Structure 1
Amino acid sequence: MKKRIKYFFTALLVFCFLLPATAQNMVDNKATQETKTLYRNLQLLQGKSILFGHQDDTAYGIAWTGEKGQSDVKKVAGDYPAVYGWDLGHIETGDSLNIDKVPFDRMCQLILEAYERGGVNTISWHLQNPHTGNSSWDVSSDKVVSSILPGGQKHTMYIQWLDNLAEFIRSLKTKDGISVPLLFRPFHEHTGSWFWWGKNLCSKDDYVALWHFTIEYLRDKKQLHNLIYVYSPDFVANKDDYFERYPSDSYVDILGLDLYHREGEVKAAEFISNVKRIMKMLNDYSKVSAKPYVFSETGSSELPMDDWFTNVLYKALTPNKPVYVLVWRNAYDIPGHYYAPYPGHPAGKDLKKFMELSDILFEGKLPNMYK
């Protein structure tokens, strides 16, 4: 009898562990089944595997743009990345091209193709400054965030921007009518002050209010139920800095970090140390909250270290493994602006070596993330 009871409770625990994500641990309790399942699978992979990602991977690369099936990562490593980053900057004003000159209709197709292959899509939003019409980097006023909140001078404009954003997200459906799940990373790197929503450009209360309003509008007013919400500060000195403007567990699904490695080998040890420290902090919080954590943006511009992926990045990510790491884009029109090797680059062999590590997942090694 004791053995039967023991087996029963063991089976019950396994069954509960394998259940799809529930309303209690997602921001959206009406999330689609595919979105819940993706979130649950990210939870299950947390600490075991690291998905490798690349911004705009199939949209363009070194010496090419808009060519079907192309990917610098695939050319070098033999497989597509597991995670695809996209940016919706300029969708707010109805432009046909995003901030990096990717046509939105093409981006839609590439997102669908990545999903159909089993990849994971994440989106950021470098939205324009609503006061000036200039870029996200226009920090000429500290009144922008307050002006787009309810009652603010630019609130009606912001509503229209959210409507335009929602229209694009709603269009991301398969032929069977399935809405593609997306990891949405709004108002990122707010611990710095290079964007108009940055730390020195708005109060803590206004930042949190903007986050709450944006999520509630997309989720409740626009009825978008295929979004997983990612909170991604830049460098922080400690836990208090990281959570100082945290919108609360009820408004965040995934904890993120944006942090780049600059100055090559000179700063490698410092970069590794900072990433390890922050990932340990996120790992500790994840154990309590059950929220996955990710390295949402990183990279070393022009890859001056041939062994950067195995001897810097991988060292920084162990033992506290984020569920994915995403390196920034390979611009086709800005010389020297690339973060993944392309054919002929000396870091290409190291990327392939990185891919072959047992706990690193590119697209071909992914389990089914949606079923």
Structure 2
Amino acid sequence: MNTNYGLFLISLIIAACTSVEMPKTADTKATKETKNLYASLKAIQGKKILFGHQDATVYGIGWKYDKDQSDIKKISGDYPAVYGWDLGHIELGDSVNLDNIHFDLMRQHIISAYRRGGINTISWHLRNPYTNGSSWDVSSNKVVASIIPGGEKHARYLQWLDSLSLFLSSLVDDSGKAIPVLLRPFHEHTGNWFWWGAPYCSKEDYITLWKSTAEYLRNVKQVHNVLYIYSPDRVTSEEEYFDRFPGDDYVDILGLDMYHRGGESQASTFVTEVQQVMNILEEYAQKHDKVFVFSETGAEGIPMSDWFTAVLYPSIEMHKPAYVLVWRNAHDIEGHHYAPYPGHPSVDDFLLFKSKKDIYFEKNLPNLYKTTKD
């Protein structure tokens, strides 16, 4: 990208962040930096798309815990703009998450990403508090009802939220200020693979769970560095997307989790379906002063060498969600990768995707956590 042109675009984004009224966050007591990040994302969407990668700096293909590395950086010379993390097993008091990342190390990487100007988004594959199984234990349809206020496991769930809030509150910069994060709880609830999925709880109980969780974090635990993401899996209509929506006072960001499966034969279908949902999200975001993102996606193993320019980019180019995040590059599971790495057939195509004028990586970012009024 031409340097002057890039600076010009950045100035437009910064101006947009400061010339319009700050959008309202779900948490009215959100920190200034959190509100500034929200305003920045609001200004970016429709103009630029930030690229994100799950667990980007802690491991990749053939490596783990290499300092200052990522598969993305190895092939492109730049870090992603958005980093995905997961806090599964934080509720148990474990030292590592469900993918064996030490929580202390994760905290360090979140802080480092923030120092470089990046964005951190967090999912939570919490275990089943009713059966003691995993997030994928769907053997009972009593789980959600058991942990909402009045349920037999509610006290246990509050203890789990205490552990979650302790980690979120520990994310501070050198001056002691809280680092903003994007929290994506109870994601992909339109599917049938998690115990909080639609087949295993009523609409009313799911909404109660979401609301009571947010209220406990922000009102009881005083966690005010969080923006909340609502992220169903594949849906086909506005009605289906918002069927269990907890309301504007509990959601900051509209997300979509949707993967491309079936290889090249399903590529055009994937693009069309993503575009349809992005159109729904964009319209709602504009009317309700919200942000919308492509919160989780990818094609396992990247079976098409031109997947990034032929599939991913066409699916988001038209509506331009504030960011798109592809899933992780597992160092210990063969074929379980969603971003290129050195030697992968899609590297050249990925670099072409990166060169698009509306795709931003970390070096492109303005200061998302401040405005010129600060």
- Counterpart Cα distance in 1 of 2:47 and 2:289: 14
In the superposition, the TM-score normalised over structure 2's length comes to 0.94
Deviation of 1:350 (Å)? 1.0
Please report how far the alpha carbon of residue 134 of structure 1 lies from its aligned counterpart in structure 2 after TM superposition: 1.4
Deviation readout 1:313-332 (Å, 9 max, x if unpaired): 00011211111000000000
**Aligned counterpart, 1:251:** 250
Secondary structure of 1:54's aligned partner: strand
Distance 1:103 1:50 in 2: 30
Alignment RMSD: 1.2
Find the aligned partners of 2:191 and 2:297 in 1 and give their Cα distance: 15
Separation of aligned partners in 2, 1:120 and 1:215 = 21
**1:184-333 equivalence runs, <5 A:** 184-333=183-332
In structure 2, the residue matched to 1:28 is 27
Residues 100-119 of structure 1 mapped to structure 2, 5 A cutoff: 100-119=99-118
SS in 2 for 1:288: helix
Counterpart residue number, 1:166: 165
Q: Which digits, 9 at most, give the CA deviation of each residue in 1:275-333, with x for residues without a partner?
A: 01000111111110111100000000011111111111000112111110000000001
**Aligned position for 1:8:** none
Distance in 2 (alpha carbons) for counterparts of 1:357 and 1:205 = 43
Which SS does the other structure have where 1:52 is aligned? strand
Contact 1:61–1:72 (CA under 8 A) maintained in structure 2: yes
> Does the aligned pair in 1 maintain the 2:190–2:197 contact within 8 Å?
yes
Q: Is the 8 A contact 1:62 1:342 kept in 2?
A: yes
The corresponding residue for 1:337 is: 336
Residue 92 (structure 1) aligns with: 91
Q: Secondary structure at the match of 1:183?
A: strand
**Alignment-derived partner of residue 362 in structure 1:** 361
Cα deviation code 1:91-133 (max 9, x no counterpart): 0010000011100000000000000000000000000001222
Q: May I ask how many residue pairs the two structures share in their alignment?
A: 356
Q: Which residue pairs with 1:152 in the alignment?
A: 151
1: distance between equivalents of 2:317 and 2:356? 12
Distance (Å, rounded) in 2 between the aligned partners of 1:254 and 1:315: 22
Aligned residue in 1 for 2:3: none
Amino acid at match of 1:266: S
Helix, strand or coil for the counterpart of 1:297? strand
Structure 2 letter corresponding to 1:277: Q
Judge conservation of contact 1:306–1:346 (CA < 8 Å) in 2: yes
Q: Contact 1:294–1:322 (CA<8 Å) still a contact in 2?
A: yes
Q: Distance in 2 between matches of 1:15 and 1:45?
A: 8
Gaps of 5+ in 1: 1-13
Give the match's secondary structure for 1:191: coil
Instruction: Note closer, same or farther for the CA distance 1:343–1:16 as it changes in structure 2 (3 Å cut).
Output: closer
Task: Report the secondary structure of 1:41's partner residue.
Answer: helix
Task: State which structure, 1 or 2, has the greater radius of gyration over its C-alpha atoms.
Answer: 1
State the SS of the aligned residue for 2:255: strand
Change in 2 beyond 3 A, CA 1:230/1:15: closer
Q: CA deviation at 1:19?
A: 5.1
Give the Å deviation of 1:57: 0.1
- Residue aligned with 1:228, SS: strand
Q: C-alpha offsets along residues 153-196 of structure 1, whole Å, 9 cap, x if unaligned? A: 11110000000000011111112101110000000000111100
State yes or no: 1:18 paired with 2:52: no
Matches within 5 A, 1:118-129: 118-129=117-128
**Which residue type is aligned with residue 62 of structure 2?**
A
- How far apart are residue 345 of structure 1 and its match? 0.3
Runs of 4+ in 1 over 2 A off after TM superposition: 14-22
TM-score, L = length of structure 1: 0.94
Q: 1:96 to 1:294 in 2, by over 3 A?
A: same
Q: Percent identity?
A: 59
1:17 Cα offset (Å): 5.7
